[in-house]
Chain A
Amino acid sequence: MNKKNALTQPAPSASPRKTVPEPVAPKKVAARPVQQVTAVEMGARQREISVSEFFTKNRHLLGFDNPRKALLTCVKEAVDNALDACEEAGILPDVMVRLEVVPTGGTTPSPSQATRFRITVMDNGPGIVRQQIPRIFAKLLYGSKFHRLRMSRGQQGIGISAAGMYGQLTTGKPVKIISRTGPKAVAHFFEVQIDTKKNEPLVHENKQIEWNQPQGTQVTLEVEGKYQKGRASVDEWLEQTSIANPHVRLIYQTPEGETNEYPRTYHELPPAPREIKPHPYGIEFGMLLKMLQDTKSHSLSGFLSSDFCRVSPQLADEICKTAMVSPTMKPRDLKSHAAETLYQTIQNTKIMAPPTNCISPIGEKAILSGLYKQIKGEFYTAVSRPPAVYRGNPFIIEAGLAYGNRPENQTKPKQLAMPKAEGEGEDEDSELARVIRYANRVPLLYQQSACSMFKAVLSTSWKNYGVTQSRGALPGGPMVIFVHMASVWVPFTSESKEAIADYDEIQKEITLALRECGRRLGLFLRRRERAASEYRRRNIFELYIEEVVEACNRLKGGKLLKEKLKAQLRKIATSRTGGMKTDQALGKTGTGPEGLPHSIIVTSEGVEGEVELASQVEADAAATVPPVDADLLGDEKLSVGATKSRAKKAHLRADKTPQSKAAQMGLFAEKGSSGKKPIRTRTQPEKPNKPKRPANAAAPRRKK
């Protein structure tokens, strides 16, 4: 402030002081007014701000803006940690989440009224060694993920400790941890708090206990929060997590005392992502300077080739030559100007794109299985794009789509066969699609409209694929659009990781993936339309024959042989609409998913496409898991071993979907034919090179 005043000549408008013509020395200015403080005094007040203190004041930056969001953030951080740990250790995650209402003032309020919650998250992961427990849970910016370029849910090492600190701030309760590293090891129990000034853990309690879990970690937090279902709730987050992580078995005990289980439907761990070095295109100048200081290499060329990926020693030499710096000089000696030249040179040099094996996409099959498990639709598809690069960071975009009516909606029209008034039934399809977004398998629930994924969905012209869409709006219809970005570094628009920034490369990839999904959906819809129109043709005639005959009868003064006329007209109708062929055409909605790779179609008579995947999901949801080999591709043998069901699990997915779907189609059929079911024959010759569909693969199992 002072300095500025000295430099700019007396600012006439701004300064309340007497305007002095000669330039004013900084000290004088500072000294003169009563309220001003000397540099010394100021200096006495200047001190380090601990990160913890900073975050107690700025907790919204980490997603603790309001009680409802805070509750979600705490659950999210704990679950993310659990999943990251399990996957890194190569263990298929079993995660239990429990939310309990904490009594306040002697009474236990209802979950919707409660203000305090106890969150418990337990996993079957590798556990944590005793010495590290306090620091992991009660020291901000401590962790294994920040210093490496590797795809993981967490990125900074703030999450769980921030959640702990939030709990500490709002309830004063410490974080309780139980961890066991293996069946032979002892379980340790810790109660830790964070010293917000020093950003150091304070251990309250530390003892060995008996624990019935052979291995894993359990974290218990007590926080102030608000539990409310619906959009952006804990429930929604867990549901979406289970869609993108079908390899996880998730048990969720709601504050209301219900237990929801999201079964594991994909029995393979995602391939472990590999760590990579930064790509030269992806760093900023400041970062380069820091790397120059920190490097262990003794020469500049060595630094370039060993601290970055895709820079060979030859390329390093070439870069140095172009930048006119000696390849052999010490990196530490490279001063600002030369460093800047080097930076520019690097940006202008053609360097191979970074390796992409560091990313582990969810995979089309896993997405399908996740969607199929959680969303009751008629059509599912999934697309994984090949890896691409933005600013030197490799990434993969995946998109998925579930289309069709959910069971609740499907059963409705059956009772709804009441007369419709004018204008009624026109706005029924006003439902808009839902977009679910993920970054590194973590659902993003907030700031949807700021996210480039959402924007890409809006800018895709879904009309081309037979879906309605108003200008600038989401497509209409019962549809869930799934978008996932996997990257070593996901460009969030803010620290609270809610929306993905608009990089052209990312936008383009998302759009391409969505288009592919849309194309497949369009194919499916057209095919279904074709089949249904045959259906309708027959049906309308049968419907209208009644009306026409009645009217004719009245015109003829009631002296008509109605039944005879009806029979005659029906005969004409049958001969005009292709007779039995129609029924056959209707028996099957087209011919299997040719041109529809990685898709599942659910029809009244079963599942088409990735049948095995679907039946796998069904089986997992309904019963004990039969041993299925991981290779789900094109294998026609099916493990139908839907043995005895565990009752608890069965009610979860239940058998709603297929039956009500059948009901819907049935409804269609019954309309005019008054109970006359079309005969379904499976005589159509099928294309030879298609994997044979096990007849009614999933249907019998669903009958439960």
Chain B
Amino acid sequence: MTTKQIKTTAVENKLIGLADIVITAAERSKDPTIAIPIRALSNVAFNERKGLIEMGNKKQARSFFNVGMAKKFMQTVLVADALFELQRADLTTSLREIYYRTKHTIQDSHENTFDTQDESDPVIEDLEVSLGALREELHVRAENSGSIVGPVVFGDDGDRVDCARLGKGGYSVPSIVEPEYLEVRRCTADFLLLVEKGTQWNRLSEDKFWRRYNCVLLTGNGQPPRGVRRLARRLHEEYKLPVYVLVDNDPWGYYIYSVIKQGSINLAFESQRMAIPKAKFMGLSSADPERYGLPRNVGIKLNEKDIARAKELMNYQWFQKPAWQVEIKRMLTSGLKYELDALANKDFQYLTKKYLPRKLKEKDWLD
């Protein structure tokens, strides 16, 4: 707890630093400017040795006296003010609450500081990167949108949470899973399976797949939120669990895998603590339909967006491994994508009873 206290003050100082930028610039008759690292493909690099996406050094200047940026600048200062308030009161909050807290109509006008949450969210991310503070450190939590089940025991606010005794619903992964918030007391699993879709996670959970294969089942309901990714990383790191990823066979599924493995472009600064470079791609592979005899009619035609996205992926540095190029090319050639749910075409429990056992037995996965 003491460490946390120290950290918080450090964050507070960083936030106050923003005000200082404005004040010093004003005294010198300069344009107040904040340097914000760019969060785009142009400013990330793939570190092959570490297997991570890392953020580069490019920064953009956000100046106050620039017509295009003035409002953004004002918003940044307002959000910083709200975050500072959180620090002082030692509260955590959601992105949406920050939006409401900072929204008001500017005096003598009918202009709002923020019109929609879409304006405030990126500002918070900007502050995360430019201050080098994690979202948790800023006391901002995302929504809980992940579930975990399996032989793992957590300590959460002093409560003992045994994920093997939580029925088929499992434990809802909090958005902040740092050791000071969530303690992993025990884990006896052999591996961790991260499933893209909640529906397939439900299937596996209902069939008690985790008990049979002694694994932890984790889902993020689509693109996994930070909490889920961070928890997977902790289990991987602290209990040496191999991580397998089960996603749909489409470009978005591939990308979800790559985010888990190497980190995302937008949150490249978080890769260090989120990415799991040793994660494996379990499926659905574009080779699976043939191998598992999925009929063509359960496929879905790739649309233009899918194709464009797939081609984009092929150009990413971290998809350059020959096996991956083959994998994506195979999907493009077939012109079809397959959902995990399509496995139900063969049998409702095909995923639990045939597909995964065979995959694990054959060690049929991509790196």
Q: Give me the interface of A with B, judged by CB distance under 8 Å.
A: 413, 416-420, 422, 425, 533, 536-537, 540-541, 543-544, 546-548, 551-552, 554-556, 560, 565, 568-569, 571-573, 575-577, 670-672, 674
CA distance A37 to B78 in the complex (A): 95
Contact status B71-A540, CB under 8 Å: yes
Given known contacts A548-B77, A552-B23, A555-B84, A420 and B110 CB-to-CB distance under 8 angstroms: yes
Q: Give me the interface of B with A, judged by CB distance under 8 Å.
A: 15-16, 18-19, 22-23, 26-27, 29-32, 64-65, 67, 70-71, 73-74, 77-78, 80-81, 84-85, 104-113, 115-116
Contact status B74-A547, CB under 8 Å: yes
Can you identify 6 A-B contacts, CB atoms within 8 angstroms? A417-B109, A540-B70, A551-B19, A551-B77, A565-B23, A569-B22
Given known contacts A552-B22, A572-B65, A544 and B74 CB-to-CB distance under 8 angstroms: yes
Q: Closest approach, in angstroms, between the C-beta of B102 and any C-beta of chain A?
A: 9
Contact status A565-B65, CB under 8 Å: no
CA distance A670 to B107 in the complex (A): 12
CA distance A641 to B30 in the complex (A): 55
Cβ-defined partner of B113 (8 Å) among A533, A547, A555, A572 = A547
Chain B residue contacts of A533, Cβ below 8 A: 67
Taking A543-B107, A554-B84, A576-B31 as given, write out 20 further A-B residue pairs in contact, using a Cβ cutoff of 8 Å, ordered by the A residue number. Answer: A413-B110, A418-B110, A419-B112, A422-B115, A533-B67, A537-B67, A543-B106, A543-B108, A544-B64, A544-B71, A546-B107, A547-B77, A547-B113, A548-B77, A551-B80, A555-B84, A572-B26, A572-B65, A670-B108, A672-B109
Q: Closest approach, in angstroms, between the C-beta of A427 and any C-beta of chain B?
A: 14
Cβ-defined partner of A420 (8 Å) among B31, B32, B105 = B105
From B78, which residue of chain A is reached at the shortest CB distance? A551
Q: Closest approach, in angstroms, between the C-beta of A191 and any C-beta of chain B?
A: 63
Contact status A554-B70, CB under 8 Å: no
Contact status B15-A555, CB under 8 Å: yes
Chain A residue contacts of B111, Cβ below 8 A: 543
Contact status B67-A552, CB under 8 Å: no
Given known contacts A419-B104, A419-B112, A565 and B81 CB-to-CB distance under 8 angstroms: no
CA distance A540 to B22 in the complex (A): 17
CA distance A571 to B106 in the complex (A): 21
Q: Closest approach, in angstroms, between the C-beta of A127 and any C-beta of chain B?
A: 60
Q: Closest approach, in angstroms, between the C-beta of A426 and any C-beta of chain B?
A: 9
Contact status A672-B108, CB under 8 Å: yes
Chain A residue contacts of B19, Cβ below 8 A: 551-552, 555-556, 560
Contact status A544-B70, CB under 8 Å: yes
Chain A residue contacts of B107, Cβ below 8 A: 543, 546
CA distance A548 to B80 in the complex (A): 11
Chain B residue contacts of A554, Cβ below 8 A: 81, 84-85
Contact status B77-A671, CB under 8 Å: no
Q: Closest approach, in angstroms, between the C-beta of B351 and any C-beta of chain A?
A: 42
Cβ-defined partner of B73 (8 Å) among A425, A548, A571, A672 = A548
Contact status A560-B23, CB under 8 Å: yes
CA distance A672 to B105 in the complex (A): 13
Contact status B70-A541, CB under 8 Å: yes
Contact status B65-A556, CB under 8 Å: no
Q: Closest approach, in angstroms, between the C-beta of A536 and any C-beta of chain B?
A: 8
CA distance A568 to B23 in the complex (A): 9
Chain A residue contacts of B105, Cβ below 8 A: 418-420
Contact status B77-A540, CB under 8 Å: no
CA distance A547 to B75 in the complex (A): 9
From A417, which residue of chain B is reached at the shortest CB distance? B110
Chain B residue contacts of A541, Cβ below 8 A: 64-65, 70
Contact status B104-A568, CB under 8 Å: no
Cβ-defined partner of A569 (8 Å) among B26, B84, B108, B109 = B26
Q: Closest approach, in angstroms, between the C-beta of A361 and any C-beta of chain B?
A: 45
Contact status B81-A555, CB under 8 Å: yes
Q: Closest approach, in angstroms, between the C-beta of A542 and any C-beta of chain B?
A: 9
Given known contacts A419-B104, A541-B70, A571 and B84 CB-to-CB distance under 8 angstroms: no
Chain B residue contacts of A571, Cβ below 8 A: 29
From B104, which residue of chain A is reached at the shortest CB distance? A419
CA distance A565 to B23 in the complex (A): 7
Q: Closest approach, in angstroms, between the C-beta of A32 and any C-beta of chain B?
A: 68
Q: Closest approach, in angstroms, between the C-beta of B23 and any C-beta of chain A?
A: 6
CA distance A249 to B78 in the complex (A): 61
Chain B residue contacts of A575, Cβ below 8 A: 29
CA distance A537 to B18 in the complex (A): 23
CA distance A560 to B29 in the complex (A): 17
Chain A residue contacts of B16, Cβ below 8 A: 555-556
Q: Closest approach, in angstroms, between the C-beta of A143 and any C-beta of chain B?
A: 59
Q: Which 5 A-B pairs have the closest CB atoms?
A: A568-B26, A419-B105, A555-B19, A552-B19, A551-B81
CA distance A546 to B77 in the complex (A): 12
CA distance A569 to B18 in the complex (A): 15
Chain A residue contacts of B115, Cβ below 8 A: 420, 422
Contact status A671-B22, CB under 8 Å: no
Contact status B18-A555, CB under 8 Å: yes
From B111, which residue of chain A is reached at the shortest CB distance? A543
Q: Closest approach, in angstroms, between the C-beta of A351 and any C-beta of chain B?
A: 56
CA distance A140 to B20 in the complex (A): 90
Q: Closest approach, in angstroms, between the C-beta of B146 and any C-beta of chain A?
A: 28
CA distance A671 to B109 in the complex (A): 6
From A573, which residue of chain B is reached at the shortest CB distance? B65
CA distance A548 to B29 in the complex (A): 16
CA distance A670 to B110 in the complex (A): 12
Contact status A544-B109, CB under 8 Å: no
CA distance A413 to B121 in the complex (A): 30
CA distance A425 to B73 in the complex (A): 23
Given known contacts A569-B26, A576-B31, A420 and B112 CB-to-CB distance under 8 angstroms: yes
Q: Closest approach, in angstroms, between the C-beta of A664 and any C-beta of chain B?
A: 13
Given known contacts A417-B109, A422-B115, A543-B109, A555 and B80 CB-to-CB distance under 8 angstroms: yes
Q: Closest approach, in angstroms, between the C-beta of B72 and any C-beta of chain A?
A: 10
Chain A residue contacts of B112, Cβ below 8 A: 419-420
CA distance A543 to B65 in the complex (A): 12
Contact status B29-A568, CB under 8 Å: yes
Chain A residue contacts of B84, Cβ below 8 A: 554-555
Cβ-defined partner of B67 (8 Å) among A422, A540, A543 = A540
From A554, which residue of chain B is reached at the shortest CB distance? B81
Chain B residue contacts of A672, Cβ below 8 A: 108-109
CA distance A513 to B228 in the complex (A): 64
Chain A residue contacts of B18, Cβ below 8 A: 552, 555
Q: Closest approach, in angstroms, between the C-beta of B108 and any C-beta of chain A?
A: 6
Given known contacts A547-B78, A551-B77, A416 and B110 CB-to-CB distance under 8 angstroms: yes
From A546, which residue of chain B is reached at the shortest CB distance? B107
Contact status A576-B104, CB under 8 Å: no
Contact status B109-A419, CB under 8 Å: no
From B115, which residue of chain A is reached at the shortest CB distance? A422
CA distance A552 to B107 in the complex (A): 17
CA distance A355 to B302 in the complex (A): 64
Contact status B108-A576, CB under 8 Å: no
From A536, which residue of chain B is reached at the shortest CB distance? B67
Q: Closest approach, in angstroms, between the C-beta of B114 and any C-beta of chain A?
A: 9
Chain A residue contacts of B81, Cβ below 8 A: 551, 554-555
Chain B residue contacts of A572, Cβ below 8 A: 26, 29-31, 65
Which one of A420, A541, A548, A670 has the highest number of Cβ atoms from chain B below 10 Å of its Cβ?
A: A548
CA distance A460 to B65 in the complex (A): 40
CA distance A572 to B26 in the complex (A): 8
CA distance A543 to B81 in the complex (A): 18
CA distance A413 to B110 in the complex (A): 9
Chain A residue contacts of B80, Cβ below 8 A: 551, 555
Chain A residue contacts of B116, Cβ below 8 A: 422
Chain A residue contacts of B22, Cβ below 8 A: 548, 552, 565, 569
Q: Closest approach, in angstroms, between the C-beta of A529 and any C-beta of chain B?
A: 13
